[in-house]
Structure 1
Amino acid sequence: MRYPTLLAAVALLAPAPLLAQALTPAENQKIDALVTKTLADTGVPSASIAVVRGGKIVLAKAYGKQFEGQKAPADPKLPYQIASVSKQFTAAAIQLLADQGKLSLDDTVSKYVPGITDGDQITLRQLLSHTSGLRDYWPQDYSFKAMATPTTPQGIVDRWAKAPLDFKPGTQWQYSNTGYVVAGMIVEKVSGQPLLQFLQTHVFRPLGMRALNQDKAVGPGFPQGYLRHALGPVRVETPAAPGWLYAAGELSMSPEDLAKWDVARMNRTLLPPKDWDEQETPVKLTDGSNTNYGLGVGVGTADGRRVVEHSGEAVGFLTENIVYPDDKAAVVVAVNAWFADAQSRIAKGISDIVLPAPEASAEDAAALDRTKRVYAQLQTGNLDRSLLTEDAAYYFTPTTLADYRTSLSPLGAPTKIEQSGRTRLRGGFVNRSYRVTYPGRMLRISTYAEPGPNGRIEQFLVSPAE
């Protein structure tokens, strides 16, 4: 049940929010082709997806074999085990209790659950942000021996939360399912209700979501999990015994139902806006470094867009949930296998299909044109030095120019030169990076320039890239 994030700090400028609009026939065809090919490539039996655009669910569809003996087409209404995507709901439960004045996120764990190692030093906020230091009870990507036997939250706490801490609370980020088990126990103690019942009352029913305990979402009529050993045959997976997921990942729901929660997130409904903001604010460590994780969700940017994201891994299931709040868009992908990367591959591919390409600013466009000219000049060895600052002119010695010419000239004209990173300021200069594409190889250009459309070049370095 690890959290293999998709977030990456690669960005251009973010576009305006998308209008609520149905997918075009061409977009639907591209998504169908993407999912079908991915399942065929990976051997994953089925995928169920939901797409939000303009704050509305515009697609919910399922593909492939959801269980043995299936005769009807794949059903997008069936609930898949979403595993660690459940964590944001546990975090919301804690926040709702804080809104009711029944606890504080800065309370220590020992106030509610006794016997936990250094519980008087661990706060609820640290539980939810994976900065508590509590040892993770399930770092493996397979069912370990104990998971064949039923357990309870207290059983998990007794074995893992009473072990020595992996680090002093707040000093490191380390994914900890154990921390969320403790958080779930706190919800139940403070609210006087089972965690799932609390969430049904305060979250799922108000949003019209169907959510189940994954331990009960097994058997006829439910998606079946699958495994694969190396490149061997795809086999039916044996579910874990009851009790192992709990507040760290106990929920099963359809991608369409999960998308309803994503819509509430982007529209700031159901929870108070401050709670959504709190979930999406990256927690910082004691040394000031950024964890890129809030309360139950990863936060960052991808292709210039703000992203709120979490993945999930259950026994036989993988899920990817990506929300683009400023674009009013989201992509949910659930698969009934816990091998390969089908869920992330499909989610990224759908995002590329339904989101418009980031728009570059006029200055970025001008800088790209200048980069193309300078690159061509370096291939010939005839560099226009009026474009350079004093430092860049110092760098480009006759030897440097000769090396650029002799190494780049044989490559000929590139297929494409495009900006590959976010425009940013550093040291009084504007920093941009570019990707140079040739058949069979890639180069990177790193530039610094004076601000303004006619700013002189301070740096222009070309290097190999993947």
Structure 2
Amino acid sequence: MSKPLPFARRTARIAATLLAFTPLPVLAQALTADQQTKVDKIVSDALASSEVPSASIAVVRGGKIVYAKAYGNQGPNVKKTTPDARYQIASISKQFTAAAMLMLEDQGKLSLDDKVSKYFPDITDADKITIRQLLSHTSGIQDYWPQDYSPEQMSHDTTPQKILDQWAKKPLDFAPGSQWQYSNTGYVVAGLIIEKVSGEDLLTFLRKNIFQPLDMHPVNQDTAYGPGFPTGYHRYALGPVRAEDAPGKNWLWAAGELSMTASDLARWDIARINRAVLPASDWEEQEKVVRLTDGSPTGYGLGVSIGERNGHKVVSHGGEAVGFLSSNTVIPDQGFAVVALDNADFGRATGTITDGIMDLLLPGDSNAAVEGHRLDLAKKLYADLQSGSIDRTMLTKDADYYFTDQAVGDYASSLAPLGKPESFEARGGPKLRGGYVNRNYVITYPDKELLLVTYAEPGSEGKFEQYLVMPAG
């Protein structure tokens, strides 16, 4: 049995919980009828262009849910499209795992700076890895699911311990703290530590300490199949949209185990905005960018990506399950959040929806000159690629490696016949990720739209780290 919290801490926790239901009064404007119509069009257009079957969204303004709606076809197991359907949120679940760790630290049961060897000494170099490094993807433990599809092994059931045994006992990919590399395996280890320290299974701990106080009703995604649950869909290239087979059980677990409604996730976002349920210091700790041993920033905190939009901190994360994609974006100091969930693991509709809603409800750019110049650079590189040439001084070492002669040839042969675009416009604002600035653009032709996803070094002249053109979602 766990030791009860001191009275002062229990009182603070109760007060924080009550604050979760106290919206910011001035800014919590409901959407106007015109805004609702435009939001509906943003979602409907994203689904139509990407051929994703359905989406469910929630919008938070002023710390209050002001719009929640579902669209499209949720599949044969849902009689009528409803915002009450639970979608698999996959890796967005990581921030709940990290929050559980912070709670256990508050209770004096562990420290984020504990070495993993204290709990699982048989993990490779466990005496050099901290819990904080597990949560920030800087541990060096190899990721067990780097693919954007489910390999054969995932068609069979597993257990967290089997994942640990197969991947966390391999040689590390790098010295702990020296690099950032996404690792689902690290979160499985974190979940096992939570269970060992708390004496409860992970979902029970989360339900008691987070979900029930916030009136959230998620379920384990391994049970989120059958009547009442959306069907997940997949697509091979531009082929037919097909229902996806469910993976084996326990693969995502502490790395992405939850299914919930968009409004459930929005309630968690409101808690983040109001600094509720967890002490404010825990929220700040989760949102603090972790730095590598050489001092460089990772663009990641504890289970969340940290970026910026027009001078405001953006806390976000995406998720990919078998047949599902999700996006959760919060701007705490503006009391604003957008949740977008869909039932397809292709098309990037959730990103299109999120960017569209943010552009609609949070317009404006504090650095128009820089963004205009970056747009010009993106257009120049596009025209170069259409002609089969490329100015490699615009590219980082990684991007230069990516654009092989074959890649440049394929870009030229597929883009040159399209000719000059009708329009070439930014979609969404710049976002910091992994030390680079993400900017996306829509390239429009009479009969099609293309999406350009770029990452670049910071600054107006930063070199491109990524420049990928694909069909628009």
Q: Shorter-chain-normalised TM-score: which range?
A: 0.7 to 0.9
Runs in 1 of length 4+ with deviation above 6 angstroms? none
Pair 1:245–1:421, CA change in 2 (3 A): closer
What letter matches 2:71 in structure 1? Y
Cα distance in 2, alignment partners of residues 314 and 31 from structure 1: 25
Q: CA deviation at 1:221?
A: 1.1
What letter matches 1:25 in structure 2? A
Cα distance in 2, alignment partners of residues 76 and 212 from structure 1: 16
1:120 is paired with a residue whose SS is: helix
Pair 1:421–1:29, CA change in 2 (3 A): closer
Cα distance in 1, alignment partners of residues 267 and 105 from structure 2: 23
Q: CA deviation at 1:304?
A: 3.2
Pair 1:66–1:190, CA change in 2 (3 A): same
CA contact (8 A) 2:54 2:72 kept: yes
Cα distance in 2, alignment partners of residues 64 and 299 from structure 1: 31
Gaps of 5+ in 1: 1-15, 369-414, 423-438, 441-459
What letter matches 1:264 in structure 2? A
2:327 is paired with a residue whose SS is: strand
Q: State the match for 2:213 in structure 1.
A: 206
Cα distance in 1, alignment partners of residues 360 and 221 from structure 2: 31
CA contact (8 A) 2:210 2:277 kept: yes
Q: State the match for 1:197 in structure 2.
A: 204
Q: 1:241 aligned to 244, 248, 259, which one?
A: 248
Q: State the match for 2:409 in structure 1.
A: none
What percent of counterpart residues are identical? Answer: 60
2:282 pairs with 1:265: no
Q: State the match for 1:343 in structure 2.
A: 350
2:309 pairs with 1:299: no
Q: State the match for 1:132 in structure 2.
A: 139
Cα distance in 2, alignment partners of residues 281 and 17 from structure 1: 27
Figure out how many residues of one structure are paired with residues of the other and give that number.
361
CA contact (8 A) 2:272 2:283 kept: yes
CA contact (8 A) 1:181 1:248 kept: yes
2:13 pairs with 1:19: no
2:60 pairs with 1:42: no
- Which deviates more from structure 2 when the two are superposed, residues 125-134 or residues 16-25? 16-25
CA contact (8 A) 2:194 2:202 kept: yes
Q: State the match for 2:150 in structure 1.
A: 143
CA contact (8 A) 1:18 1:327 kept: no
Pair 1:69–1:312, CA change in 2 (3 A): closer
What letter matches 1:125 in structure 2? R
Cα distance in 1, alignment partners of residues 190 and 162 from structure 2: 15
Q: Which has the higher contact order (CA 8 A, sep 6+)?
A: 1
TM-score by length of 1: 0.74
Gaps of 5+ in 2: 1-23, 372-423, 432-444, 447-459, 462-466
2:135 pairs with 1:153: no
1:175 is paired with a residue whose SS is: coil
2:68 is paired with a residue whose SS is: strand
Q: State the match for 2:291 in structure 1.
A: 284
1:208 is paired with a residue whose SS is: coil
Cα distance in 2, alignment partners of residues 105 and 322 from structure 1: 25
Pair 1:70–1:86, CA change in 2 (3 A): closer
What letter matches 1:241 in structure 2? G
2:67 pairs with 1:59: yes
Q: CA deviation at 1:356?
A: 3.9
CA contact (8 A) 1:124 1:183 kept: yes
| Deviations 1:340-398, CA, capped at 9 Å, x for gaps | 110000011011112242568xxx99x99xxxxxxxxxxxxxxxxxxxxxxxxxxxxxx
Q: CA deviation at 1:303?
A: 3.6
| Deviations 1:118-168, CA, capped at 9 Å, x for gaps | 001000000000000000000001111111110000000111000000000
CA contact (8 A) 1:17 1:328 kept: no
What letter matches 2:186 in structure 1? G
Cα distance in 2, alignment partners of residues 358 and 56 from structure 1: 24
Q: CA deviation at 1:302?
A: 2.5
Give me the CA root mean square deviation: 2.8
Cα distance in 1, alignment partners of residues 307 and 52 from structure 2: 29
Pair 1:69–1:194, CA change in 2 (3 A): closer
Q: CA deviation at 1:71?
A: 4.2
**Greater radius of gyration (CA):** 1
2:189 pairs with 1:182: yes
Q: State the match for 2:108 in structure 1.
A: 101
Cα distance in 1, alignment partners of residues 118 and 430 from structure 2: 46
Cα distance in 2, alignment partners of residues 339 and 421 from structure 1: 23
What letter matches 2:327 in structure 1? E
